[in-house]
């Protein structure tokens, strides 16, 4: 694939630089750390701060969700690579309004270690930290080992709910509980049709043969549960919905929020083709879609494919989901 | 790479050490010299490690390790000049690595260096006879932080065997040489392993047939420690 690249080593810095220029009404760079993007609304005295972070290459995640009533500060890592503990610590400091900080992030080895070390670093500053680890990717581990599952696009709902709860002035323990409830209510699955290439590597780090698709693929090309012949959009949508709903076991009549995100190189119109079938499938199961998000919300460079996330809603989650927000991506 | 130059002798470190002391112990400046050897060898291996990582990861492991130990050299040299003892020096080194490197590599080597800081806390010098203990401290720090088991295809498949080999009694130089052989065997063994933790675990079976880049860089660190020790002993031989 042809790319708009200067030097691959500068890609992350240049991405962040352009991002904060384009969205200067909502976000800015942390003056103390060029790998931390801070909401212009942060910190809010007396309110719980919300922090996330992760590798670059998933834009608009993670930086795009910094904003009002969303994430207060985002730690930025190298491509597909956890931010440093220092960047997480600086993000926590930038988000701290004196009521503690909730770090809401995805279940990956590097992020787990760096967040843990960052929490220890800021404890010396007297900042209380609570964490919630997203594990919504159904195919990354069996249900019995849910703690091993990776976090994917369901993180966006986790940030939305956590950010809204903090905006309402809830204490840290309640913000943490709401974010945990949100991710517990999320199930996601990915289907890959084509791999992605890290510019510094120059070749795809896995292959998807033409005419095939990988069901259950992860956000960095982690192997899925099966490789099979490419099917029609409706058949793929049915498969995705079945995987998610079998793990979910929701009673008929449930209200849900649905997120269909492209992985980077899939045309947005195809995402709507998938969504059309997905909503029909949910309706047939007696579910009501309260809110739908369709677009490139959480990508993986130029991977071809899509993820489906279904979040089960109750009254509290619905109200928090509907609270108005302003961030570059949502 | 102006920060990286050949290991300085006790004299170049601006310290007057008697031949006996110089033979048996390293002071803070001389430990900085060991860090310099590590940083130089990692800088030389930057592209090679990047290519290994490119096969099963994101190709940044060479940069991470080289930049991390370059940061260690800068911070520890400054600390040694301020008069930091050996324990503090390793703590400073660990913090500087953590600030420079993310992913899993940052916390893992930071934990290794911080554990060494605990092991040698309050010591003005590091006895050469204790140098193999440095490997044990590194291995323990990495193991506690990363929780990887043998066979998971990680740097622990090098650090674990190397630390065990270094524990066997004998002259420090022999123990370090045994550790290096065990390290190299561990690295080569990762080729036949399937990654089950860390970033390469994303590839599952696809990681088979590739040397783990973290294992490869661990061998470089251990080889550089041995090289630095040999250089030191040769210089101080009367």
pLDDT tens digit sequence for A265-276: 999 999 999 999
Calculate mean pLDDT across residues A65-75: 98
B75, pLDDT greater than 70 = yes
In a domain, A326, yes or no: no
Shared-domain flag, residues A95 and A204: no
Whether residue A302 contacts residue A1, with contact meaning beta carbons closer than 8 Å, is answered with yes
Shared-domain flag, residues A197 and A72: no
Which residue among the candidates A23, A58, A219, A248 is catalytic per the annotation? A58
In a domain, A328, yes or no: no
Which pLDDT band, with edges at 50, 70 and 90, does B10 fall under? very low
Shared-domain flag, residues A30 and A153: yes
pLDDT digits (tens, 9 = 90+) for B141-175: 999 999 999 999 999 999 999 999 999 999 999 99
Shared-domain flag, residues A149 and A125: yes
Nearest-CA neighbor of A22 among A66, A58, A84, A57? A66
A109 touches chain B (CB under 8 A): yes
Looking at chain A, the whole-number percentage of residues with pLDDT higher than 90 is 93
B19, pLDDT greater than 70 = no
pLDDT digits (tens, 9 = 90+) for A151-165: 999 999 999 999 999
Nearest-CA neighbor of B119 among B159, B78, B85, B156? B85
Shared-domain flag, residues A82 and A104: yes
Q: Dihedral, CA atoms, B145, B148, B150, B155, nearest 10 degrees?
A: -70
Option in A86, A113, A198 nearest B104 (CB): A113
Q: What is the mean pLDDT of chain A?
A: 96
Query: Tokens for B9?
Result: 């002798």
B22, pLDDT greater than 60 = no
Q: Residue A104 sits in which domain range?
A: 8-185
A128, pLDDT greater than 50 = yes
A220 is catalytic: yes
pLDDT digits (tens, 9 = 90+) for A80-98: 999 999 999 999 999 999 9
B221 touches chain A (CB under 8 A): no
Which pLDDT band, with edges at 50, 70 and 90, does B1 fall under? very low
B14, pLDDT greater than 50 = no
The whole-number pLDDT of residue B4 equals 40
In a domain, B4, yes or no: no
Neighbouring-strand partners of residue A73:
A38, A51
B236 versus A186: the higher-pLDDT residue is A186
In a domain, A192, yes or no: yes
In a domain, B1, yes or no: no
- What contacts B175, CB < 8 A, 6 or more positions away? B132, B165, B166, B167, B168, B169
Q: Do A117 and B206 touch (CB under 8 A)?
A: no
A58 is catalytic: yes
How near does any CA of chain A get to the CA of B54, in Å? 5
Strand (E) positions, chain A?
27-30, 33-39, 49-56, 73-79, 101-106, 129-134, 186-194, 212-215, 226-229, 255-262, 288-295, 304-313
In a domain, B226, yes or no: yes
B16, pLDDT greater than 60 = no
Residue indicated by tokens 């677009």 = A295
Shared-domain flag, residues A80 and A177: yes
* ipTM (interface predicted TM): 0.88
Which pLDDT band, with edges at 50, 70 and 90, does B12 fall under? very low
Whether residue B95 contacts residue B136, with contact meaning beta carbons closer than 8 Å, is answered with no
Which pLDDT band, with edges at 50, 70 and 90, does B226 fall under? very high
Which pLDDT band, with edges at 50, 70 and 90, does B5 fall under? very low
Determine if the peptide bond prior to A60 is cis (ω within 30°): yes
pLDDT digits (tens, 9 = 90+) for B177-219: 999 999 999 999 999 998 887 767 767 787 888 999 999 999 9
- At residue A114, φ and ψ (nearest 5 deg) are -70, -35
B54 touches chain A (CB under 8 A): yes
Shared-domain flag, residues A250 and A316: yes
In a domain, A62, yes or no: yes
Shared-domain flag, residues A150 and A288: no
Calculate mean pLDDT across residues A157-181: 98
> How far apart, in whole angstroms, are the C-alpha atoms of residue A329 and residue B153?
38
Which pLDDT band, with edges at 50, 70 and 90, does B18 fall under? very low
| Chosen domain end from A140, A163, A185 | A185
Residue indicated by tokens 């993310």 = B102
Whether residue B95 contacts residue B117, with contact meaning beta carbons closer than 8 Å, is answered with no
Shared-domain flag, residues A257 and A284: yes
Calculate mean pLDDT across residues A98-104: 98
Choose, out of B95, B103, B208, the residue to mutate when testing the contact with A (most A CBs < 10 Å).
B103
B57, pLDDT greater than 80 = no
Which of helix, strand or coil describes residue A304? strand
CATH of the domain at A17: 3.40.50.10440
CATH of the domain at B216: 1.25.40.340
| Chosen domain end from A163, A185, A207 | A185
- What contacts B33, CB < 8 A, 6 or more positions away? B7, B8, B13, B228, B232
Shared-domain flag, residues A161 and A191: no
In a domain, B33, yes or no: yes
Q: What is the pTM of this model?
A: 0.92
Q: Give A140-199 as a 3 state SS string.
A: HCCHHHHHHCCCCCHHHHHHHHHHHHHHCCCCHHHHHHHHHHHHHCEEEEEEEEECCCCC
Calculate mean pLDDT across residues B27-50: 96
Please count the structural domains in chain A. 2
Residue A203's alpha-carbon distances to A22, A80, A101, B56, in angstroms, are: 30, 15, 39, 11
In a domain, B39, yes or no: yes
In a domain, B13, yes or no: no
Strands A186-194 and A212-215 come out as: antiparallel
CATH of the domain at A308: 3.30.1180.20
B23, pLDDT greater than 90 = no
Burial of A202 (0-12, 13-18, 19+ CB in 10 A): exposed
In a domain, B75, yes or no: yes
Shared-domain flag, residues A95 and A217: no
The whole-number pLDDT of residue B15 equals 44
Q: Do A201 and B59 touch (CB under 8 A)?
A: yes
The whole-number pLDDT of residue B236 equals 60
Q: Residue B49 sits in which domain range?
A: 19-236
In a domain, A132, yes or no: yes
Which residue among the candidates A23, A203, A219, A220 is catalytic per the annotation? A220
| Chosen domain end from A150, A185, A220 | A185
How near does any CA of chain A get to the CA of B118, in Å? 17
In a domain, B12, yes or no: no
In a domain, A216, yes or no: yes
In a domain, A330, yes or no: no
Please count the structural domains in chain B. 1
How near does any CA of chain A get to the CA of B107, in Å? 6
DSSP designation for B126: E
Nearest-CA neighbor of B176 among B235, B108, B130? B130
Strands A73-79 and A33-39 come out as: antiparallel
Shared-domain flag, residues A164 and A280: no
In a domain, A2, yes or no: no
Which pLDDT band, with edges at 50, 70 and 90, does B237 fall under? low
């Amino acid at each position: 694939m042809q790319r708009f690249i200067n030097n691959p080593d500068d890609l992350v810095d240049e991405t962040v630089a352009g991002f904060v220029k384009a969205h200067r009404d909502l976000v800015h760079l942390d003056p103390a750390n060029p790998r931390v993007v801070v909401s212009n609304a942060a910190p809010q005295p007396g309110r719980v701060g919300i922090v996330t972070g992760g590798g670059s290459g998933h834009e608009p995640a993670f930086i795009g969700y910094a904003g009002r009533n969303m994430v207060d500060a985002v730690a930025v890592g190298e491509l597909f690579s956890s931010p440093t503990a220092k960047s997480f610590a600086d993000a926590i400091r930038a988000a701290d309004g004196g009521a503690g900080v909730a770090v809401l992030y995805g279940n990956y080895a590097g992020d787990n270690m760096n967040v843990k070390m960052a929490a220890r670093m800021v404890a010396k500053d007297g900042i209380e930290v609570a964490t919630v680890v997203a594990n919504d990717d159904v195919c990354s581990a069996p249900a019995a080992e849910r703690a091993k599952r990776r976090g994917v696009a369901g993180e966006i709902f986790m940030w939305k709910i956590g950010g809204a709860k903090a905006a309402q002035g809830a204490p840290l323990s309640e913000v943490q509980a709401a974010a945990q409830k949100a991710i517990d209510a999320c199930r996601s699955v990915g289907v890959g049709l084509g791999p992605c290439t890290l510019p510094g590597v120059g070749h795809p780090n896995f292959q998807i043969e033409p005419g095939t698709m990988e069901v259950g693929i992860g956000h960095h090309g982690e192997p899925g549960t099966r490789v099979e012949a490419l099917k029609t959009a409706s058949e793929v949508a049915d498969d995705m919905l079945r995987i998610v709903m079998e793990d979910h076991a929701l009673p008929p009549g449930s209200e849900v929020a649905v997120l269909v995100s492209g992985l980077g190189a899939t045309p947005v119109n195809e995402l709507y083709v998938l969504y059309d079938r997905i909503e029909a499938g949910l309706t047939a199961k007696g579910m009501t879609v309260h809110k739908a998000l369709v677009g490139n919300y959480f990508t993986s460079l130029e991977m071809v494919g899509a993820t489906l996330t279904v979040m089960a809603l109750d009254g509290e989650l619905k109200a928090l989901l509907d609270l108005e927000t302003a961030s570059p991506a949502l | 790479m102006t920060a990286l130059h050949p290991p300085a002798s006790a004299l170049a470190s601006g310290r007057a050490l008697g031949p006996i002391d110089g033979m048996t112990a390293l002071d803070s400046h001389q430990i900085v010299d060991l860090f310099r050897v590590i940083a130089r060898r990692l800088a030389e291996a930057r592209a090679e490690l990047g290519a290994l990582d490119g096969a099963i990861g994101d190709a940044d492991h060479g940069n991470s390790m080289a930049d991390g130990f370059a940061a260690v050299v800068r911070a520890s040299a400054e600390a040694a000049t301020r008069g930091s003892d050996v324990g503090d020096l390793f703590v400073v080194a660990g913090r500087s690595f953590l600030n420079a490197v993310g992913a899993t590599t940052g916390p893992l080597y930071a934990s290794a260096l911080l554990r060494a800081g605990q092991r040698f806390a309050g010591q003005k010098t590091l006895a050469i006879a204790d140098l193999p203990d440095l490997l044990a401290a590194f291995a323990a720090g990495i193991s506690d932080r990363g929780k990887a088991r043998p066979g998971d295809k990680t740097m622990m498949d090098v650090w674990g065997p190397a630390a065990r080999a270094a524990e066997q009694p004998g002259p420090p130089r022999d123990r370090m040489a045994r550790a290096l052989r065990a390290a190299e065997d561990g690295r080569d063994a990762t080729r036949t392993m399937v990654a089950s933790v860390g970033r390469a675990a994303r590839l599952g079976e696809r990681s088979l047939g590739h040397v783990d880049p973290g294992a490869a860089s661990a061998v470089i660190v251990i080889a550089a420690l041995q090289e630095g020790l040999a250089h030191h002993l040769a210089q101080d031989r009367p």
